[in-house]
Chains A and B, each alone.
Chain A
Amino acid sequence: MLTLFLRRLFMLIPLLIGISLISFLVIHCAPGKPTDMQLQLNQKVSLQVRERLEKLYGLDKPLMTQYVMWVKRLIRLDFGNSFIDNRPVIDKIKERIPITLTINILSLMLILIIAVPIGVLSAVYQESLFDRAMTVFVFIGFAMPTFWLALLLMKFFSVTLQLLPVSGITSIDFENYSFMGKVIDYSRHLFLPIIISAFTGLAGLSRYMRTSMIHVLQQDYIRTAKAKGLTMAKVYFYHALKNALLPVITILGMSIPGLIAGSVIAESIFAIPGMGKLYYDAVMSRDYAVIMAILVIGAFLTLMGNLLADLAYFIADPRIRVGPCE
Protein backbone atom coordinates (compact mmCIF):
# COMPACT_ATOMS: atom_id res chain seq x y z
CA MET A 1 0.00 0.00 0.00
CA LEU A 2 2.86 2.33 0.85
CA THR A 3 4.42 2.01 -2.61
CA LEU A 4 1.00 2.60 -4.13
CA PHE A 5 0.61 5.76 -2.09
CA LEU A 6 4.13 6.96 -2.85
CA ARG A 7 3.52 6.44 -6.55
CA ARG A 8 0.32 8.44 -6.18
CA LEU A 9 2.29 11.26 -4.52
CA PHE A 10 4.89 11.17 -7.26
CA MET A 11 2.15 11.61 -9.87
CA LEU A 12 1.29 14.96 -8.29
CA ILE A 13 4.51 16.63 -9.46
CA PRO A 14 3.65 16.92 -13.18
CA LEU A 15 0.12 17.97 -12.22
CA LEU A 16 1.42 20.76 -9.99
CA ILE A 17 3.73 21.99 -12.73
CA GLY A 18 0.86 21.89 -15.21
CA ILE A 19 -1.44 23.80 -12.89
CA SER A 20 1.09 26.56 -12.31
CA LEU A 21 1.89 26.76 -16.03
CA ILE A 22 -1.77 27.07 -17.06
CA SER A 23 -2.59 29.63 -14.36
CA PHE A 24 0.41 31.64 -15.49
CA LEU A 25 -0.34 31.42 -19.20
CA VAL A 26 -4.04 32.23 -18.81
CA ILE A 27 -3.13 35.57 -17.34
CA HIS A 28 -0.17 36.39 -19.53
CA CYS A 29 -1.68 35.47 -22.88
CA ALA A 30 -4.64 37.74 -22.26
CA PRO A 31 -4.54 41.04 -24.12
CA GLY A 32 -3.60 44.09 -22.08
CA LYS A 33 -0.96 44.33 -19.43
CA PRO A 34 -1.46 44.01 -15.70
CA THR A 35 -0.17 47.55 -15.27
CA ASP A 36 -2.85 49.00 -17.57
CA MET A 37 -5.26 49.33 -14.66
CA GLN A 38 -2.88 51.60 -12.75
CA LEU A 39 -1.85 53.54 -15.84
CA GLN A 40 -5.24 54.06 -17.41
CA LEU A 41 -6.36 56.08 -14.44
CA ASN A 42 -3.73 58.65 -15.23
CA GLN A 43 -3.44 59.59 -18.90
CA LYS A 44 -0.40 61.74 -18.35
CA VAL A 45 1.90 58.90 -17.27
CA SER A 46 5.16 59.23 -19.13
CA LEU A 47 6.91 56.42 -20.92
CA GLN A 48 9.59 56.28 -18.22
CA VAL A 49 7.06 55.75 -15.47
CA ARG A 50 5.44 53.02 -17.52
CA GLU A 51 8.77 51.28 -18.03
CA ARG A 52 9.68 51.62 -14.37
CA LEU A 53 6.39 50.07 -13.34
CA GLU A 54 6.80 47.21 -15.79
CA LYS A 55 10.30 46.62 -14.48
CA LEU A 56 8.97 46.58 -10.93
CA TYR A 57 6.64 43.71 -11.78
CA GLY A 58 9.24 42.03 -14.02
CA LEU A 59 7.07 42.46 -17.11
CA ASP A 60 10.03 43.48 -19.28
CA LYS A 61 11.62 40.01 -19.05
CA PRO A 62 10.88 37.07 -21.39
CA LEU A 63 7.83 34.98 -20.54
CA MET A 64 9.85 31.94 -19.47
CA THR A 65 11.95 33.97 -17.04
CA GLN A 66 8.81 35.55 -15.61
CA TYR A 67 7.33 32.10 -15.10
CA VAL A 68 10.41 30.81 -13.27
CA MET A 69 10.49 33.92 -11.09
CA TRP A 70 6.82 33.51 -10.30
CA VAL A 71 7.14 29.83 -9.41
CA LYS A 72 10.14 30.52 -7.17
CA ARG A 73 8.07 32.99 -5.20
CA LEU A 74 5.07 30.65 -5.32
CA ILE A 75 6.98 27.97 -3.44
CA ARG A 76 7.61 30.44 -0.63
CA LEU A 77 3.86 31.26 -0.70
CA ASP A 78 4.72 34.75 -1.89
CA PHE A 79 2.03 35.68 -4.39
CA GLY A 80 3.15 39.27 -4.72
CA ASN A 81 1.07 42.34 -3.90
CA SER A 82 -2.45 43.09 -5.02
CA PHE A 83 -2.51 45.61 -7.87
CA ILE A 84 -5.50 47.31 -6.32
CA ASP A 85 -4.54 48.09 -2.72
CA ASN A 86 -0.90 46.94 -2.77
CA ARG A 87 -1.39 44.55 0.16
CA PRO A 88 0.32 41.14 0.02
CA VAL A 89 -2.03 38.73 -1.78
CA ILE A 90 -1.34 35.98 0.71
CA ASP A 91 -2.66 38.15 3.57
CA LYS A 92 -5.86 38.90 1.68
CA ILE A 93 -6.37 35.19 1.01
CA LYS A 94 -5.55 34.18 4.57
CA GLU A 95 -8.35 36.43 5.84
CA ARG A 96 -10.84 34.95 3.41
CA ILE A 97 -10.03 31.25 3.32
CA PRO A 98 -11.48 30.27 6.75
CA ILE A 99 -14.94 31.56 5.77
CA THR A 100 -15.02 29.68 2.48
CA LEU A 101 -13.67 26.50 4.05
CA THR A 102 -16.22 26.69 6.87
CA ILE A 103 -19.11 27.07 4.43
CA ASN A 104 -17.83 24.26 2.20
CA ILE A 105 -17.07 21.82 5.01
CA LEU A 106 -20.45 22.43 6.64
CA SER A 107 -22.28 21.97 3.36
CA LEU A 108 -20.27 18.82 2.65
CA MET A 109 -21.36 17.47 6.03
CA LEU A 110 -24.94 18.46 5.31
CA ILE A 111 -24.75 16.67 1.96
CA LEU A 112 -23.44 13.49 3.59
CA ILE A 113 -25.94 13.49 6.43
CA ILE A 114 -28.91 13.86 4.09
CA ALA A 115 -27.79 12.15 0.87
CA VAL A 116 -26.55 8.87 2.35
CA PRO A 117 -29.82 7.88 4.06
CA ILE A 118 -31.81 9.02 1.02
CA GLY A 119 -29.66 6.90 -1.28
CA VAL A 120 -29.83 3.84 0.96
CA LEU A 121 -33.59 4.06 1.42
CA SER A 122 -34.25 4.61 -2.30
CA ALA A 123 -32.14 1.57 -3.09
CA VAL A 124 -33.77 -0.63 -0.47
CA TYR A 125 -37.28 0.44 -1.39
CA GLN A 126 -36.69 0.63 -5.14
CA GLU A 127 -39.61 1.86 -7.24
CA SER A 128 -41.52 2.81 -4.09
CA LEU A 129 -43.27 6.14 -3.72
CA PHE A 130 -40.28 7.41 -1.72
CA ASP A 131 -37.84 6.35 -4.43
CA ARG A 132 -39.90 8.03 -7.12
CA ALA A 133 -40.21 11.24 -5.11
CA MET A 134 -36.45 11.23 -4.62
CA THR A 135 -35.86 10.72 -8.36
CA VAL A 136 -37.98 13.81 -9.02
CA PHE A 137 -35.97 15.68 -6.40
CA VAL A 138 -32.73 14.64 -8.10
CA PHE A 139 -33.89 15.98 -11.45
CA ILE A 140 -34.96 19.22 -9.80
CA GLY A 141 -31.62 19.47 -8.04
CA PHE A 142 -29.66 19.02 -11.25
CA ALA A 143 -31.71 21.53 -13.22
CA MET A 144 -31.98 24.23 -10.54
CA PRO A 145 -29.77 27.25 -11.22
CA THR A 146 -28.26 27.81 -7.77
CA PHE A 147 -28.33 31.58 -8.12
CA TRP A 148 -32.06 31.48 -8.85
CA LEU A 149 -32.67 29.27 -5.83
CA ALA A 150 -30.61 31.74 -3.82
CA LEU A 151 -32.78 34.64 -5.00
CA LEU A 152 -35.99 32.71 -4.24
CA LEU A 153 -34.85 31.72 -0.74
CA MET A 154 -33.59 35.24 -0.12
CA LYS A 155 -36.95 36.64 -1.16
CA PHE A 156 -38.84 34.16 1.01
CA PHE A 157 -36.77 34.09 4.20
CA SER A 158 -35.32 37.59 4.20
CA VAL A 159 -37.81 39.83 2.41
CA THR A 160 -41.20 38.20 2.96
CA LEU A 161 -40.72 36.55 6.35
CA GLN A 162 -37.89 38.85 7.50
CA LEU A 163 -36.41 35.89 9.40
CA LEU A 164 -32.86 35.94 8.07
CA PRO A 165 -30.47 38.72 7.12
CA VAL A 166 -30.16 39.45 3.39
CA SER A 167 -26.38 39.51 3.07
CA GLY A 168 -23.03 39.79 4.79
CA ILE A 169 -21.64 37.57 7.48
CA THR A 170 -22.22 39.57 10.69
CA SER A 171 -24.72 42.13 11.86
CA ILE A 172 -23.70 45.76 12.37
CA ASP A 173 -23.68 45.53 16.18
CA PHE A 174 -21.85 42.18 16.12
CA GLU A 175 -19.14 43.39 18.52
CA ASN A 176 -21.64 43.90 21.34
CA TYR A 177 -23.04 40.37 21.24
CA SER A 178 -22.26 37.72 23.84
CA PHE A 179 -20.44 34.57 22.70
CA MET A 180 -23.71 32.68 22.11
CA GLY A 181 -25.14 35.73 20.39
CA LYS A 182 -22.17 35.75 18.01
CA VAL A 183 -22.61 32.07 17.19
CA ILE A 184 -26.31 32.60 16.50
CA ASP A 185 -25.55 35.67 14.38
CA TYR A 186 -23.05 33.69 12.29
CA SER A 187 -25.44 30.82 11.79
CA ARG A 188 -28.26 33.14 10.78
CA HIS A 189 -26.02 34.66 8.12
CA LEU A 190 -24.54 31.38 6.93
CA PHE A 191 -27.76 29.33 6.84
CA LEU A 192 -28.81 30.21 3.28
CA PRO A 193 -25.32 30.13 1.73
CA ILE A 194 -24.75 26.64 3.14
CA ILE A 195 -28.09 25.38 1.85
CA ILE A 196 -27.30 26.84 -1.58
CA SER A 197 -23.83 25.27 -1.78
CA ALA A 198 -25.21 21.92 -0.67
CA PHE A 199 -28.20 21.75 -3.01
CA THR A 200 -26.71 20.47 -6.27
CA GLY A 201 -24.26 18.17 -4.50
CA LEU A 202 -27.14 16.71 -2.52
CA ALA A 203 -28.95 15.60 -5.65
CA GLY A 204 -25.80 14.16 -7.19
CA LEU A 205 -24.59 12.26 -4.16
CA SER A 206 -27.96 10.72 -3.31
CA ARG A 207 -28.15 9.40 -6.88
CA TYR A 208 -24.64 7.88 -6.67
CA MET A 209 -25.43 6.42 -3.28
CA ARG A 210 -28.56 4.80 -4.69
CA THR A 211 -26.75 3.27 -7.68
CA SER A 212 -23.90 2.02 -5.55
CA MET A 213 -26.26 0.55 -2.94
CA ILE A 214 -28.38 -1.22 -5.58
CA HIS A 215 -25.21 -2.81 -6.92
CA VAL A 216 -24.16 -4.01 -3.45
CA LEU A 217 -27.61 -5.35 -2.59
CA GLN A 218 -27.36 -7.79 -5.53
CA GLN A 219 -24.22 -9.42 -4.08
CA ASP A 220 -24.26 -12.93 -2.67
CA TYR A 221 -23.02 -11.96 0.77
CA ILE A 222 -26.10 -9.81 1.30
CA ARG A 223 -28.31 -12.81 0.58
CA THR A 224 -26.22 -14.80 3.06
CA ALA A 225 -26.59 -12.11 5.70
CA LYS A 226 -30.35 -12.09 5.20
CA ALA A 227 -30.50 -15.90 5.21
CA LYS A 228 -28.70 -16.23 8.50
CA GLY A 229 -31.44 -14.14 10.04
CA LEU A 230 -29.84 -10.76 10.68
CA THR A 231 -32.22 -7.87 11.16
CA MET A 232 -32.82 -5.88 8.01
CA ALA A 233 -31.40 -2.75 9.63
CA LYS A 234 -28.15 -4.59 10.33
CA VAL A 235 -27.96 -6.02 6.81
CA TYR A 236 -28.56 -2.66 5.13
CA PHE A 237 -26.83 -0.19 7.39
CA TYR A 238 -23.91 -2.37 8.52
CA HIS A 239 -23.08 -4.98 5.90
CA ALA A 240 -24.28 -3.26 2.75
CA LEU A 241 -23.57 0.37 3.56
CA LYS A 242 -19.89 -0.25 4.31
CA ASN A 243 -19.25 -1.43 0.76
CA ALA A 244 -21.67 0.95 -0.88
CA LEU A 245 -19.85 3.92 0.66
CA LEU A 246 -16.54 3.06 -1.03
CA PRO A 247 -17.26 4.61 -4.45
CA VAL A 248 -18.90 7.54 -2.68
CA ILE A 249 -15.54 8.49 -1.20
CA THR A 250 -14.17 9.04 -4.71
CA ILE A 251 -17.27 10.99 -5.72
CA LEU A 252 -16.87 13.24 -2.69
CA GLY A 253 -13.28 13.94 -3.70
CA MET A 254 -14.43 14.75 -7.21
CA SER A 255 -17.14 17.11 -5.99
CA ILE A 256 -14.62 19.48 -4.40
CA PRO A 257 -13.97 21.64 -7.50
CA GLY A 258 -17.75 22.02 -7.85
CA LEU A 259 -18.07 23.18 -4.26
CA ILE A 260 -15.22 25.68 -4.64
CA ALA A 261 -16.70 26.94 -7.91
CA GLY A 262 -20.11 27.25 -6.27
CA SER A 263 -18.68 29.49 -3.59
CA VAL A 264 -18.06 32.19 -6.20
CA ILE A 265 -21.78 32.37 -6.93
CA ALA A 266 -23.06 31.91 -3.38
CA GLU A 267 -20.60 34.40 -1.90
CA SER A 268 -21.23 37.10 -4.48
CA ILE A 269 -25.01 36.82 -4.07
CA PHE A 270 -24.93 36.95 -0.28
CA ALA A 271 -21.97 39.37 -0.15
CA ILE A 272 -19.94 37.02 2.03
CA PRO A 273 -16.30 38.04 2.30
CA GLY A 274 -14.79 34.68 1.33
CA MET A 275 -12.40 33.43 -1.34
CA GLY A 276 -15.13 33.29 -3.97
CA LYS A 277 -16.08 36.94 -3.47
CA LEU A 278 -12.40 37.91 -3.43
CA TYR A 279 -11.92 36.10 -6.74
CA TYR A 280 -14.99 37.72 -8.28
CA ASP A 281 -13.85 41.19 -7.23
CA ALA A 282 -10.34 40.48 -8.50
CA VAL A 283 -11.69 39.39 -11.88
CA MET A 284 -13.90 42.46 -12.13
CA SER A 285 -10.99 44.79 -11.36
CA ARG A 286 -8.39 42.73 -13.29
CA ASP A 287 -6.25 42.24 -10.20
CA TYR A 288 -3.85 39.80 -11.86
CA ALA A 289 -1.86 38.88 -8.77
CA VAL A 290 -4.98 37.80 -6.89
CA ILE A 291 -6.46 35.98 -9.89
CA MET A 292 -3.30 33.91 -10.41
CA ALA A 293 -2.98 33.14 -6.72
CA ILE A 294 -6.57 31.94 -6.35
CA LEU A 295 -6.46 29.91 -9.58
CA VAL A 296 -3.42 28.06 -8.23
CA ILE A 297 -4.85 27.66 -4.74
CA GLY A 298 -8.22 26.48 -6.05
CA ALA A 299 -6.58 23.85 -8.24
CA PHE A 300 -4.24 22.87 -5.42
CA LEU A 301 -7.15 22.39 -3.01
CA THR A 302 -8.86 20.19 -5.61
CA LEU A 303 -5.70 18.13 -5.97
CA MET A 304 -5.43 17.73 -2.21
CA GLY A 305 -9.11 16.78 -2.02
CA ASN A 306 -8.60 14.04 -4.58
CA LEU A 307 -5.47 12.87 -2.77
CA LEU A 308 -7.35 12.69 0.54
CA ALA A 309 -10.18 10.80 -1.15
CA ASP A 310 -7.71 8.28 -2.57
CA LEU A 311 -6.02 7.93 0.80
CA ALA A 312 -9.38 7.37 2.47
CA TYR A 313 -10.18 4.78 -0.19
CA PHE A 314 -6.88 2.97 0.44
CA ILE A 315 -7.63 2.86 4.15
CA ALA A 316 -11.28 1.90 3.78
CA ASP A 317 -10.85 -0.86 1.21
CA PRO A 318 -9.10 -3.91 2.70
CA ARG A 319 -8.39 -5.24 -0.79
CA ILE A 320 -5.99 -2.34 -1.33
CA ARG A 321 -4.94 -1.88 2.31
CA VAL A 322 -3.68 -5.42 2.75
CA GLY A 323 -2.58 -5.84 -0.84
CA PRO A 324 -2.92 -8.89 -3.05
CA CYS A 325 -2.11 -12.28 -1.47
CA GLU A 326 1.31 -13.53 -2.44
Chain B
Amino acid sequence: MKGLHLCNMKKFLNHRLAVSGAIIILVISVFAISAPLISPYQPDDIAIGQYLLAPSAKHWMGTDILGRDLFSRMAYGARISLIVGLVSVCIAVIQGVFFGAIAGYYGKSVDNIIMRFVDIMLCFPNIFLILALVALLEPNIIIIMVVIGATSWMGIARLVRAEILSLKERDFVKAARACGVSDFKIIIRHLVPNAMAPVIVSATLGVAGAILLESSLSFLGIGVQPPTPSWGNILMDAKLSLGIAWWMTLFPGAAIFITVLGYNLLGEGLRDLLLLRK
Protein backbone atom coordinates (compact mmCIF):
# COMPACT_ATOMS: atom_id res chain seq x y z
CA MET B 1 0.00 0.00 0.00
CA LYS B 2 2.89 2.42 -0.52
CA GLY B 3 1.26 5.04 -2.69
CA LEU B 4 -0.28 4.46 -6.04
CA HIS B 5 2.52 3.25 -8.27
CA LEU B 6 2.34 3.73 -11.99
CA CYS B 7 1.47 0.09 -12.60
CA ASN B 8 -1.30 0.28 -9.98
CA MET B 9 -2.62 3.33 -11.80
CA LYS B 10 -2.65 1.33 -15.00
CA LYS B 11 -4.56 -1.49 -13.32
CA PHE B 12 -7.03 1.05 -12.00
CA LEU B 13 -7.53 2.63 -15.42
CA ASN B 14 -8.16 -0.78 -16.95
CA HIS B 15 -10.88 -1.55 -14.42
CA ARG B 16 -14.12 -0.51 -16.03
CA LEU B 17 -16.23 -0.35 -12.84
CA ALA B 18 -13.72 1.75 -10.96
CA VAL B 19 -13.13 4.14 -13.84
CA SER B 20 -16.79 4.73 -14.57
CA GLY B 21 -17.38 5.39 -10.88
CA ALA B 22 -14.48 7.81 -10.74
CA ILE B 23 -15.73 9.68 -13.82
CA ILE B 24 -19.21 10.08 -12.36
CA ILE B 25 -17.76 11.38 -9.09
CA LEU B 26 -15.49 13.77 -10.97
CA VAL B 27 -18.34 15.22 -13.02
CA ILE B 28 -20.59 15.70 -9.97
CA SER B 29 -17.72 17.25 -8.02
CA VAL B 30 -16.99 19.76 -10.80
CA PHE B 31 -20.72 20.53 -10.94
CA ALA B 32 -20.68 21.19 -7.17
CA ILE B 33 -17.45 23.20 -7.03
CA SER B 34 -18.38 25.46 -9.92
CA ALA B 35 -21.89 26.11 -8.59
CA PRO B 36 -21.45 29.90 -8.29
CA LEU B 37 -20.02 30.07 -11.83
CA ILE B 38 -22.57 27.96 -13.68
CA SER B 39 -25.80 28.75 -11.91
CA PRO B 40 -27.67 31.55 -13.67
CA TYR B 41 -29.55 32.66 -10.52
CA GLN B 42 -29.01 32.73 -6.76
CA PRO B 43 -30.35 29.48 -5.25
CA ASP B 44 -32.83 31.32 -3.07
CA ASP B 45 -33.87 34.08 -5.47
CA ILE B 46 -37.63 34.06 -5.59
CA ALA B 47 -39.16 35.14 -8.91
CA ILE B 48 -42.68 36.29 -8.20
CA GLY B 49 -45.27 34.78 -10.50
CA GLN B 50 -42.88 32.27 -12.03
CA TYR B 51 -43.97 29.24 -10.00
CA LEU B 52 -43.43 25.72 -11.29
CA LEU B 53 -42.32 26.70 -14.80
CA ALA B 54 -41.32 23.75 -16.97
CA PRO B 55 -37.66 23.50 -18.09
CA SER B 56 -36.86 26.07 -20.79
CA ALA B 57 -33.89 28.07 -22.12
CA LYS B 58 -34.37 30.55 -19.29
CA HIS B 59 -34.68 27.95 -16.51
CA TRP B 60 -32.79 24.82 -17.58
CA MET B 61 -34.45 22.60 -15.03
CA GLY B 62 -37.59 24.67 -14.50
CA THR B 63 -38.60 26.47 -11.32
CA ASP B 64 -39.96 25.25 -8.01
CA ILE B 65 -43.09 26.02 -6.07
CA LEU B 66 -41.68 29.38 -4.88
CA GLY B 67 -40.37 30.35 -8.31
CA ARG B 68 -36.71 29.54 -7.53
CA ASP B 69 -34.49 28.33 -10.37
CA LEU B 70 -34.12 24.55 -9.98
CA PHE B 71 -30.77 24.27 -11.80
CA SER B 72 -29.12 26.75 -9.42
CA ARG B 73 -30.60 24.94 -6.44
CA MET B 74 -29.37 21.61 -7.79
CA ALA B 75 -25.84 22.96 -8.19
CA TYR B 76 -25.72 24.37 -4.66
CA GLY B 77 -27.44 21.26 -3.35
CA ALA B 78 -24.66 19.13 -4.85
CA ARG B 79 -22.19 20.92 -2.56
CA ILE B 80 -24.23 20.04 0.51
CA SER B 81 -24.66 16.41 -0.48
CA LEU B 82 -20.98 15.86 -1.27
CA ILE B 83 -19.69 17.71 1.78
CA VAL B 84 -22.03 15.87 4.12
CA GLY B 85 -21.11 12.55 2.51
CA LEU B 86 -17.34 13.09 2.69
CA VAL B 87 -17.10 14.72 6.10
CA SER B 88 -19.37 12.24 7.86
CA VAL B 89 -17.38 9.35 6.40
CA CYS B 90 -14.14 10.99 7.58
CA ILE B 91 -15.60 11.16 11.08
CA ALA B 92 -16.69 7.53 10.85
CA VAL B 93 -13.26 6.43 9.59
CA ILE B 94 -11.36 8.25 12.34
CA GLN B 95 -13.63 6.80 15.00
CA GLY B 96 -13.69 3.32 13.48
CA VAL B 97 -9.92 3.12 13.02
CA PHE B 98 -9.34 4.41 16.54
CA PHE B 99 -11.64 1.91 18.26
CA GLY B 100 -10.78 -0.95 15.93
CA ALA B 101 -7.02 -0.46 16.35
CA ILE B 102 -7.20 -0.26 20.12
CA ALA B 103 -9.49 -3.28 20.37
CA GLY B 104 -7.35 -5.34 18.03
CA TYR B 105 -4.00 -4.37 19.51
CA TYR B 106 -4.75 -4.58 23.22
CA GLY B 107 -7.19 -7.48 23.03
CA LYS B 108 -8.67 -9.04 26.20
CA SER B 109 -11.05 -6.85 28.19
CA VAL B 110 -10.41 -3.68 26.15
CA ASP B 111 -11.36 -5.62 23.03
CA ASN B 112 -14.35 -7.12 24.79
CA ILE B 113 -15.73 -3.80 25.96
CA ILE B 114 -15.26 -2.05 22.60
CA MET B 115 -16.71 -4.88 20.57
CA ARG B 116 -19.75 -5.23 22.86
CA PHE B 117 -20.28 -1.50 22.41
CA VAL B 118 -20.12 -2.06 18.64
CA ASP B 119 -22.71 -4.84 18.97
CA ILE B 120 -25.01 -2.57 20.94
CA MET B 121 -24.72 0.26 18.44
CA LEU B 122 -25.48 -2.14 15.59
CA CYS B 123 -28.77 -3.11 17.25
CA PHE B 124 -30.27 0.32 16.66
CA PRO B 125 -31.85 0.74 13.23
CA ASN B 126 -29.61 3.60 12.03
CA ILE B 127 -32.35 5.99 10.91
CA PHE B 128 -34.04 5.70 14.34
CA LEU B 129 -30.96 6.80 16.21
CA ILE B 130 -30.07 9.51 13.68
CA LEU B 131 -33.59 10.93 13.58
CA ALA B 132 -33.73 11.15 17.37
CA LEU B 133 -30.29 12.73 17.71
CA VAL B 134 -30.66 15.23 14.87
CA ALA B 135 -34.14 16.32 15.90
CA LEU B 136 -33.22 16.70 19.56
CA LEU B 137 -29.97 18.54 18.89
CA GLU B 138 -31.56 20.81 16.25
CA PRO B 139 -31.01 19.96 12.60
CA ASN B 140 -28.09 21.77 10.96
CA ILE B 141 -25.34 20.57 8.63
CA ILE B 142 -22.66 20.16 11.30
CA ILE B 143 -24.92 18.14 13.59
CA ILE B 144 -26.03 15.97 10.65
CA MET B 145 -22.44 15.18 9.67
CA VAL B 146 -21.40 14.41 13.24
CA VAL B 147 -24.45 12.24 13.89
CA ILE B 148 -24.14 10.27 10.64
CA GLY B 149 -20.43 9.78 11.35
CA ALA B 150 -21.04 8.77 14.95
CA THR B 151 -23.58 6.13 13.96
CA SER B 152 -21.72 4.50 11.06
CA TRP B 153 -18.22 3.71 12.32
CA MET B 154 -18.98 0.21 13.61
CA GLY B 155 -18.32 -1.68 10.39
CA ILE B 156 -14.95 0.01 9.96
CA ALA B 157 -14.00 -0.74 13.56
CA ARG B 158 -14.72 -4.43 13.00
CA LEU B 159 -12.65 -4.48 9.79
CA VAL B 160 -9.65 -2.73 11.36
CA ARG B 161 -9.79 -4.94 14.43
CA ALA B 162 -9.77 -8.11 12.32
CA GLU B 163 -6.83 -6.87 10.22
CA ILE B 164 -4.81 -5.85 13.26
CA LEU B 165 -5.48 -9.11 15.08
CA SER B 166 -3.65 -10.95 12.29
CA LEU B 167 -1.06 -8.22 11.61
CA LYS B 168 0.17 -7.96 15.20
CA GLU B 169 1.43 -11.54 15.13
CA ARG B 170 3.67 -10.80 12.14
CA ASP B 171 7.44 -10.66 12.47
CA PHE B 172 7.84 -6.99 11.59
CA VAL B 173 5.62 -6.03 14.51
CA LYS B 174 7.51 -8.33 16.85
CA ALA B 175 10.74 -6.79 15.59
CA ALA B 176 9.43 -3.29 16.20
CA ARG B 177 8.39 -4.27 19.71
CA ALA B 178 11.80 -5.83 20.36
CA CYS B 179 13.43 -2.56 19.31
CA GLY B 180 11.44 -0.84 22.03
CA VAL B 181 9.05 1.09 19.78
CA SER B 182 6.12 2.41 21.80
CA ASP B 183 2.63 0.90 21.46
CA PHE B 184 1.32 4.16 20.10
CA LYS B 185 3.94 4.27 17.36
CA ILE B 186 3.48 0.59 16.47
CA ILE B 187 -0.24 1.16 16.00
CA ILE B 188 0.06 4.43 14.07
CA ARG B 189 3.14 3.71 11.97
CA HIS B 190 3.13 -0.04 11.45
CA LEU B 191 -0.33 -1.50 11.96
CA VAL B 192 -2.89 1.05 10.80
CA PRO B 193 -1.28 1.80 7.39
CA ASN B 194 -1.24 -1.94 6.66
CA ALA B 195 -4.87 -2.29 7.63
CA MET B 196 -6.12 0.54 5.39
CA ALA B 197 -7.07 -1.41 2.24
CA PRO B 198 -10.46 -2.68 3.51
CA VAL B 199 -11.06 0.70 5.20
CA ILE B 200 -10.63 2.55 1.89
CA VAL B 201 -13.15 0.26 0.22
CA SER B 202 -15.60 0.53 3.07
CA ALA B 203 -15.19 4.31 3.27
CA THR B 204 -15.90 4.74 -0.45
CA LEU B 205 -19.09 2.71 -0.11
CA GLY B 206 -19.77 4.63 3.10
CA VAL B 207 -19.87 7.96 1.23
CA ALA B 208 -22.68 6.52 -0.88
CA GLY B 209 -24.53 5.46 2.26
CA ALA B 210 -24.03 8.83 3.94
CA ILE B 211 -25.34 10.72 0.91
CA LEU B 212 -28.42 8.50 0.89
CA LEU B 213 -28.92 9.04 4.62
CA GLU B 214 -28.58 12.82 4.39
CA SER B 215 -31.05 13.01 1.52
CA SER B 216 -33.51 10.75 3.37
CA LEU B 217 -33.26 12.98 6.43
CA SER B 218 -33.68 16.15 4.39
CA PHE B 219 -36.61 14.55 2.57
CA LEU B 220 -38.24 13.82 5.92
CA GLY B 221 -37.69 17.47 6.89
CA ILE B 222 -35.18 16.67 9.64
CA GLY B 223 -32.01 17.17 7.60
CA VAL B 224 -30.68 20.26 5.89
CA GLN B 225 -33.21 23.01 6.57
CA PRO B 226 -34.65 25.25 3.86
CA PRO B 227 -33.83 27.72 2.41
CA THR B 228 -30.42 26.00 2.13
CA PRO B 229 -30.94 23.70 -0.85
CA SER B 230 -30.13 20.00 -0.65
CA TRP B 231 -31.22 17.31 -3.09
CA GLY B 232 -33.25 15.73 -0.31
CA ASN B 233 -35.21 18.79 0.66
CA ILE B 234 -35.88 19.70 -2.99
CA LEU B 235 -37.55 16.29 -3.22
CA MET B 236 -39.58 17.13 -0.14
CA ASP B 237 -40.97 20.12 -2.07
CA ALA B 238 -41.46 17.85 -5.09
CA LYS B 239 -43.87 15.71 -3.11
CA LEU B 240 -46.25 18.67 -2.94
CA SER B 241 -46.28 19.11 -6.71
CA LEU B 242 -46.11 15.43 -7.63
CA GLY B 243 -48.81 15.40 -10.29
CA ILE B 244 -47.97 18.71 -11.94
CA ALA B 245 -44.19 19.24 -12.02
CA TRP B 246 -42.23 16.17 -13.18
CA TRP B 247 -38.96 18.11 -13.24
CA MET B 248 -39.09 18.68 -9.49
CA THR B 249 -39.10 14.92 -8.88
CA LEU B 250 -36.88 13.80 -11.74
CA PHE B 251 -33.74 15.94 -11.39
CA PRO B 252 -32.91 15.78 -7.67
CA GLY B 253 -33.75 12.06 -7.46
CA ALA B 254 -31.65 11.26 -10.50
CA ALA B 255 -28.79 13.33 -9.08
CA ILE B 256 -28.80 11.38 -5.82
CA PHE B 257 -29.08 8.10 -7.71
CA ILE B 258 -26.17 8.87 -10.05
CA THR B 259 -23.88 10.16 -7.29
CA VAL B 260 -24.55 7.17 -5.06
CA LEU B 261 -24.07 4.88 -8.05
CA GLY B 262 -20.71 6.54 -8.74
CA TYR B 263 -19.41 5.92 -5.23
CA ASN B 264 -20.74 2.36 -5.24
CA LEU B 265 -19.06 1.60 -8.57
CA LEU B 266 -15.76 3.07 -7.38
CA GLY B 267 -16.05 1.17 -4.11
CA GLU B 268 -16.74 -2.16 -5.78
CA GLY B 269 -13.92 -1.50 -8.23
CA LEU B 270 -11.49 -0.73 -5.41
CA ARG B 271 -12.62 -3.86 -3.55
CA ASP B 272 -11.78 -5.85 -6.64
CA LEU B 273 -8.39 -4.17 -7.04
CA LEU B 274 -7.26 -3.88 -3.43
CA LEU B 275 -8.77 -6.88 -1.68
CA LEU B 276 -9.64 -9.71 -4.04
CA ARG B 277 -6.65 -9.65 -6.38
CA LYS B 278 -4.01 -9.83 -3.68
A residues engaging B (CB < 8 A)?
14-15, 18-19, 22, 26-27, 30-32, 139-140, 142-148, 151-152, 154-155, 159, 257-258, 260-262, 264-265, 268-269, 279-280, 283-284, 286, 291, 294-295, 298-300, 302-303
Contacts and interface: CB of A to CB of B under 8 A. Distances in A.
A181 B99 CA distance: 56
Interface residues of B, number: 43
A137 B120 CA distance: 33
30 contacts: A18-B117, A26-B132, A26-B133, A27-B132, A31-B137, A32-B136, A143-B208, A143-B257, A143-B261, A143-B264, A144-B257, A145-B215, A145-B253, A148-B249, A148-B253, A148-B257, A151-B235, A151-B238, A151-B239, A152-B253, A159-B242, A260-B125, A265-B127, A279-B128, A279-B131, A283-B131, A283-B135, A284-B135, A295-B129, A299-B123
A15 B120 contact: yes
Contact of A265 (B122, B220, B257, B260): B220
A26 B252 CA distance: 32
- Quick one: which of B116, B125, B238, B252 has the most chain A CB within 10 A? B125
Interface string B239-278: 1001100100100110011101100110000000000000
Given A14-B116, A294-B128, A298-B128, A286 B135 contact: yes
B131 A139 contact: no
B29 interface: no
Contacts of A303: 123
Interface string B93-124: 00000000000000000000000110111111
A142 B17 CA distance: 15
A283 B215 CA distance: 17
A27 B136 contact: yes
B136 A264 contact: no
Contacts of B264: 139, 142-143
A152 B121 CA distance: 33
B153 interface: no
Nearest to B131: A283
A26 B125 CA distance: 14
Interface in B186-213: 208, 212
B34 interface: no
B138 to A, nearest CB: 8
Contacts of A269: 239
B166 interface: no
A57 B245 CA distance: 48
Interface in B128-155: 128-129, 131-133, 135-137
A262 B128 CA distance: 10
B66 to A, nearest CB: 19
B256 A145 contact: yes
Contacts of B135: 283-284, 286
- Quick one: which of B128, B219, B257, B260 has the most chain A CB within 10 A? B128
Contacts of A264: 127-128, 131, 220
A30 B257 contact: no
